């Protein structure tokens, strides 16, 4: 029994038209009056249109690949799952400004200028002010902007899920992360398998854990203390057979080793990994572990080699926070990068009192990639930068 | 000078005195680490491929590489003679530089020739050429399943594998990158 449907005529192929409706692209009987671009409501479906080139000139709509529509639908469902997840865990959804005077002071992040200020690189500062104001469990899904970032896992404008728990430790955030990822993957895909580069990764909680030092020792043969001089770490990286220039900074030396050896090893695992206990120099906004000042309360979630989320046991000491911001400013100045102002209102909020908190930023676009198996971030954006 | 935002496929740069062209690149940035572009370069003289991480802020030196649209004229021993159509200047290029596709070149074929410091170092052919089949045995009936092929000689003298239905006098489309038959072209 042929079905009639509503949709837009993408192309006409003699007797048949290709019509995009709610259930995908189909071949339908073409009425003589139809032209590409027409909206029709009585198309008589002949058979599905599986893809391939459009016969004849096609509409602008047709140029958005069909596969993208399915991915955007998955993205919408994933967002609904995220909101339900946080509602069930009694989190309040908040919205903080995207346009701010101080965009986040990190040595390696460049902000996008807008008007008299900048677009946020993360909603962290304002969300912490809300924590200080008395909220205990807050989350938001918002756009963040980082200048000059474009690659298979990077878009200059992207979506972040960021959440905080007051009076909580990182352990609770790890549980949130594992459960959230499993819920989204299960709802969007068919099972508990995330997909990366054609491989499947079982995201069933709990996830294996590994310290950064153990990972660097095991896969790179590099022992990282956290307080050694940069030159010593450079020598260790070189001894591991990795090309590195003299005078390389401590953090750059660390990542030279990490990206050459640990990153590919993480990518080869069939389970996600919670990579924890980061050396203190790599955690500007995190508390130090009691009894171990060389280690910070920080973890990252890696799934199939994709850096999905970064979490901190939040630094609550305003004096220490200002000192670290000034340190980062000095480094940016020395490297000839734009120096952003310190967010005094954040420091003031810390001074008034931020409860012991833990928080995390998780890349929503990357989560959708993992749930759908999309290989590049542009696939899960409605329109990528190059399509505007 | 170029920086990392200029990196794209085909960019020509000078490294250690050698001209390279970018064949692949990927933006890499760990959350808390420095951004760089993992880049594969092909040496335009030797064909060797090297991978380098170019950090954001690092500079690359442009190579004195020029590309000129030229027309293939004729063969001369193991060399091929090309002409620049804007100034009628002729250059002789060794067939080795062109590789296996050199026998798919018909007179007047438009090509792009790459010069490094005024010396030709690479020739880019059109991806597809249309050539007439001048000799081929008739196909054996009954064995048409799968990808059964037979050899055919085309007007330039090259031999390519073709499906059994191809006959002398047919024009076929050949991929110059793979030296393989693509399809029969309607006359």
Rounded to the nearest angstrom, the minimum Cα separation between B25 and chain A is: 9
Between the two ends of chain B, the Cα-to-Cα distance in Å is: 50
Check CB contact of A148 with chain B, cutoff 8 Å.
Answer: yes
Q: What is the mean pLDDT of residues A23-38?
A: 85
Cβ-defined contact of B33 to A108 (cutoff 8 Å): yes
Nearest CA-CA partner of A304 in A276, A336, A266:
A266
Query: Residue A278, class by beta-carbon neighbours within 10 Å (0-12 exposed, 13-18 middle, 19+ buried)?
Result: buried
Note the Cα A113 to chain centre separation in Å.
21
Condensed to tens digits (0 to 9), the pLDDT of residues A270-289 reads 999 999 999 998 887 789 99
Of B124, B153, B174, which marks where a domain is finished? Answer: B124
Q: Which residue has the tokens 């474009």?
A: A150
Condensed to tens digits (0 to 9), the pLDDT of residues B152-170 reads 999 999 999 998 889 999 9
Computed on alpha carbons and rounded to an integer, the radius of gyration of chain B in Å comes to 21
More confident residue, B139 or A200: A200
Residue of B27, B34, B56 with shortest CB distance to A255 = B34
Of B92, B124, B156, which marks where a domain is finished? Answer: B124
Cβ-defined contact of A108 to B29 (cutoff 8 Å): yes
Token representation of residue A330: 């000095």
Residue of A148, A151, A335 with shortest CB distance to B28 = A151
Angle at A125 between CA A142 and CA A123, to 5 degrees: 10
**Total tally of structural domains belonging to chain B:** 3
Q: What percent of chain A has pLDDT over 90?
A: 70
A343 pLDDT band, cuts 50/70/90, is very high
A211 pLDDT band, cuts 50/70/90, is very high
Condensed to tens digits (0 to 9), the pLDDT of residues A93-122 reads 999 999 999 998 888 999 999 999 999 999
**DSSP output for B52-118:** EEEETT-EEEEP-EEEEEEEEEEEETTEEEEEETTT--EEEEEHHHHGGGGGGPPTT-EEEEEEETT
| Confidence (pLDDT) at B93 | 92
CB A69 within 8 A of CB A23: no
CATH of the domain at B153: 2.40.50.140
A3 pLDDT band, cuts 50/70/90, is low
Rounded to the nearest angstrom, the minimum Cα separation between B122 and chain A is: 30
Reduced to 3 states (helix: H, G, I; strand: E, B; else coil), residue A146 is coil
Q: Using the predicted structure, report yes or no on whether residue B187 has a pLDDT greater than 70.
A: no
A184 pLDDT band, cuts 50/70/90, is very high
Q: Which of residues 39-68 of B touch A (CB under 8 A)?
A: 56-57
Cα–Cα distance between B34 and B156 in angstroms, integer? 53
The verdict on B57 and B85 lying in the same domain is: no
Check CB contact of B33 with chain A, cutoff 8 Å.
Answer: yes
**Which residues fall within 8 angstroms of residue A169, CB to CB, at 6 or more apart?**
A313, A356, A358
CATH of the domain at B45: 2.30.30.30
Which chain A positions have a beta carbon within 8 Å of B5's beta carbon?
Answer: 148
Residue of B nearest to A376 (CA): B26
Cβ-defined contact of A259 to B27 (cutoff 8 Å): no
Cβ-defined contact of B28 to A106 (cutoff 8 Å): no
Residue of B29, B32, B34 with shortest CB distance to A154 = B29
What distances in angstroms separate CA A176 from CA A86, A105, A112, A149, A209, one per listed residue?
A: 9, 27, 31, 28, 15
Helix axis angle for A364-372 and A66-88, nearest 10°, is 120
| Confidence (pLDDT) at B143 | 55
The verdict on B100 and B132 lying in the same domain is: no
Cα–Cα distance between B119 and B19 in angstroms, integer? 12
Cα–Cα distance between A224 and A75 in angstroms, integer? 39
Domain that holds residue B137: 128-185
Mutation pick from A259, A280, A303 vs chain B, by most beta carbons of B within 10 Å, is A259
Instruction: Quote the mean pLDDT of chain A.
Output: 91
CB B38 within 8 A of CB B55: no
Cβ-defined contact of A149 to B27 (cutoff 8 Å): yes
| Confidence (pLDDT) at B142 | 58
Which chain A positions have a beta carbon within 8 Å of B7's beta carbon?
Answer: none
Token representation of residue A315: 């630094």
Q: What is the mean pLDDT of residues A221-237?
A: 95
Condensed to tens digits (0 to 9), the pLDDT of residues B122-138 reads 888 999 999 999 999 88
Q: What is the mean pLDDT of residues A142-171?
A: 96
Q: Which of residues 239-258 of A touch B (CB under 8 A)?
A: 251-252, 254-255, 258
Token representation of residue A253: 């030396």
Angle at A144 between CA A143 and CA A146, to 5 degrees: 145
Residue of A nearest to B35 (CA): A108
Least confident of A40-54, A210-224, A251-265, A274-288: A40-54
Least confident of A74-78, B138-142, B172-176: B138-142
Q: What percent of chain B has pLDDT over 90?
A: 56
Condensed to tens digits (0 to 9), the pLDDT of residues A42-81 reads 888 888 877 667 766 667 666 666 778 889 999 999 999 9
Q: What is the mean pLDDT of residues A372-378?
A: 92
Peptide bond into A206 cis (omega under 30): yes
A310 pLDDT band, cuts 50/70/90, is very high
Residue of B30, B56, B57 with shortest CB distance to A255 = B30
pTM over 0.90: no
Residue of B nearest to A105 (CA): B32
Would you identify the CATH topology of the domain A67-208+269-387? BirA Bifunctional Protein; domain 2 (3.30.930)
Q: How many CB pairs lie under 8 A apart between chains A and B?
A: 46
Q: What is the mean pLDDT of residues A252-278?
A: 95
Q: Using the predicted structure, report yes or no on whether residue A221 has a pLDDT greater than 80.
A: yes
The verdict on B164 and B116 lying in the same domain is: no
The verdict on B12 and B43 lying in the same domain is: yes
Complex-level ipTM beyond the 0.85 threshold: no
Check CB contact of B24 with chain A, cutoff 8 Å.
Answer: no
Q: Using the predicted structure, report yes or no on whether residue A1 has a pLDDT greater than 90.
A: no
Domain ranges in chain A are 4-63, 67-208+269-387
Other beta carbons within 10 Å of B14: 16
Which chain A positions have a beta carbon within 8 Å of B56's beta carbon?
Answer: 148
């Amino acid at each position: 029994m042929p079905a009639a449907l509503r949709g837009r005529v993408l192309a006409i192929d003699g007797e048949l038209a290709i019509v995009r409706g709610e259930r995908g692209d189909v071949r339908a009987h073409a009425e003589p009056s139809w032209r590409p671009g027409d909206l029709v409501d009585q198309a008589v479906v002949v058979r599905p249109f599986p893809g391939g080139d459009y016969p004849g000139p096609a509409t602008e709509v047709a140029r958005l690949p069909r596969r993208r529509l399915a991915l955007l639908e998955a993205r919408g469902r994933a967002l609904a799952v995220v909101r339900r997840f946080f509602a069930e865990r009694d989190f309040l959804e908040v919205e903080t400004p995207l346009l701010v005077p101080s965009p986040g002071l990190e040595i390696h992040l460049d902000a996008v200028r807008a008007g008299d200020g900048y677009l946020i690189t993360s909603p962290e500062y304002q969300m912490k002010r809300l924590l200080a104001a008395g909220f205990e469990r807050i989350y938001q899904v918002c756009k963040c902007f980082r200048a000059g970032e474009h690659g298979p896992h990077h878009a200059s404008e992207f979506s972040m899920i960021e959440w905080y728990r007051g009076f909580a430790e990182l352990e609770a955030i790890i549980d949130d992360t594992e459960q959230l990822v499993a819920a989204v993957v299960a709802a969007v895909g068919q099972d508990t398998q995330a997909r990366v580069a054609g491989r499947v990764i079982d995201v069933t909680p709990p996830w294996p854990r590994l310290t950064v030092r153990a990972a660097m020792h095991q896969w790179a043969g590099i022992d990282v203390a956290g307080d050694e001089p940069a030159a010593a770490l450079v020598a260790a990286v070189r001894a591991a057979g990795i090309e590195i220039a003299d005078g390389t900074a401590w953090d750059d030396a660390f990542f030279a080793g990490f990206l050459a050896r640990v990153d590919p090893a993480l990518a080869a695992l069939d389970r996600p990994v919670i990579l924890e206990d980061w050396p203190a120099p790599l955690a500007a906004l995190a508390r130090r572990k009691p009894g171990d000042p060389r280690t910070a309360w920080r973890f990252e979630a890696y799934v199939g080699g994709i850096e999905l989320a970064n979490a901190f046991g939040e630094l609550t000491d305003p004096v220490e926070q200002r000192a670290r911001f000034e340190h980062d400013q000095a480094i940016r100045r020395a490297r000839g990068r734009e120096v952003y102002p310190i967010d005094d209102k954040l420091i003031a909020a810390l001074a008034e009192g931020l409860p012991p908190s833990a928080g995390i930023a998780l890349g929503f676009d990357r989560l959708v990639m993992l749930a759908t198996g999309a290989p590049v971030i542009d696939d899960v954006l409605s329109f990528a930068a190059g399509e505007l | 000078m170029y920086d990392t935002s200029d990196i794209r496929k085909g960019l020509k740069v000078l490294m250690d005195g050698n001209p390279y062209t970018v064949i692949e690149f990927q933006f890499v940035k760990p959350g808390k680490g420095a951004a760089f572009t993992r880049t594969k370069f092909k040496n335009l003289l030797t064909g060797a491929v090297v991978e380098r991480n170019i950090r954001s802020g690092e500079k690359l030196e442009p190579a004195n590489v020029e590309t000129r649209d030229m027309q293939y004229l004729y063969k001369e021993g193991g060399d091929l003679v090309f002409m620049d159509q804007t100034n009628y200047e002729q250059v002789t290029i060794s067939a080795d530089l062109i590789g296996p596709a050199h026998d798919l070149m018909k007179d007047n074929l438009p090509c792009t020739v790459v010069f490094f410091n005024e010396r030709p170092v690479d020739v880019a052919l059109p991806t597809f050429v249309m050539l007439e089949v001048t000799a081929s045995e008739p196909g054996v009936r009954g064995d048409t399943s799968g990808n059964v092929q037979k050899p055919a000689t085309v007007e330039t003298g090259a031999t390519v594998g073709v499906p059994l239905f191809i006959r002398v006098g047919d024009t076929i489309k050949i991929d110059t990158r793979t030296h393989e038959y693509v399809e029969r072209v309607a006359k």
